[in-house]
Amino acid sequence: MNKRILTGITTTGTPHIGNYLGAIKPALELANKFDESFFFLADYHAIIKNSNKAEIEQSVKDVALSWLASGLDPNKSNFYRQSDVPEILELSWILNCVTAKGLMNRSHAYKAATSINTDDEDKGITMGLFSYPVLMAADILLYDANIIPVGKDQLQHIEMTRDVASRVHAKVGEVFVIPEGKVQKENMLVSGTDGQKMSKSKGNVIDIFQTDKALRKQIMSIQTDSTALEAPKKWSTCNSFAIYKLLASDSEIAQMKQNYEAGGYGYGHAKQALFELICNKFSEQRKRYAYYMNNLEEIDQALEFGAKKAALTANAVLKRVRKKIGY
């Protein structure tokens, strides 16, 4: 049997440079080591928190565009929208019928949501939020996925999926591939324009897919101190250097340190160097992004093509499941 890796992609707008370095790039590199890879846009999961039609449509397109621009090859990987594979919902219902409520009660997301409601712990909590781990289990088990890359804080998702699959096996016999979670190394800490961890919610991101003008404006907004132009500067505490060192070569980093320490080198110079580095480092990705922006129909075509490929595996697995339970 082919070794398969599967990654779910949250559809929450255009990824920033922190997402690229911490998630997109490592995922694409890891996929090259497996026989098959599955990358899906988790748009069913998205509606748990967002019911705005326009925002959902736009975020799905933005994220798909960013992954394609980053180098995801839809001819080599299975790249699809979750909502384009209806077999997911059928398997999710079947899994719901064997999953214990107590297991769902232990979900980190559910416990976090109930902890903020002091009068009625279930106030405002939908069945989507409560049972989303089952949908996540269906996402994984439907494709005979062996390895699921996760952060340490997401390892519970895999443990619950394994538990759900084991419950099915106890009732009807073995039918699923039991997945393993591959704990990613600590996510690369990418500083934002304010020195804190880069995050959309903090408004401190750098988006590599913007126009040159918009990208330069973001970089020039990086917070720095008021050290005079002619004075030496501390690269070790500079927000601009913190981003620069993640992208530059060893020789470029060494030269930048010398620039800071020598004096006569302003933060404006350092930010301009960062701008030029990003433009050069991501030139191919930015070209692909511009191409897809001018050919948006190819994004839908890629996702539809991916859904057809993914459905071949999904149908085979679901056929096994239906036979086991008597359909």
Q: Determine the Cα–Cα distance for residues 242 and 125; give it in Å rounded to an integer.
A: 40
Shared domain check, 176 and 35: yes
Shared domain check, 162 and 67: yes
Q: Answer whether residue 62 is part of any domain.
A: yes
Whole-number pLDDT of residue 235 = 96
Q: Answer whether residue 199 is part of any domain.
A: no
150 strand-pairing partners: 183
Q: Which parts of the chain sit beneath pLDDT 50?
A: none
Give the chain's domain count.
Answer: 2
Whole-number pLDDT of residue 1 = 62
Q: Answer whether residue 107 is part of any domain.
A: yes
Q: What is the CATH number of the domain that holds 275?
A: 1.10.240.10
Contact 86, 310 (CB under 8 A): no
Helix, coil or strand: residue 126: coil
Whole-number pLDDT of residue 213 = 95
Q: Are strands 36-41 and 78-81 parallel, antiparallel or unpaired?
A: parallel
Q: What global pTM score does this model have?
A: 0.85
Shared domain check, 277 and 300: no
Please list, residue by residue across 80-118, b when 16 or more beta carbons sit within 10 angstroms of its beta carbon and e when fewer do. Answer: bbbbbbebbebbbebbbebbeeeebeebeebeebbeeee
Shared domain check, 101 and 35: yes
Whole-number pLDDT of residue 77 = 95
Whole-number pLDDT of residue 118 = 58
Q: Which domain holds residue 40?
A: 4-189+296-325
Shared domain check, 236 and 89: no
Q: Answer whether residue 290 is part of any domain.
A: no
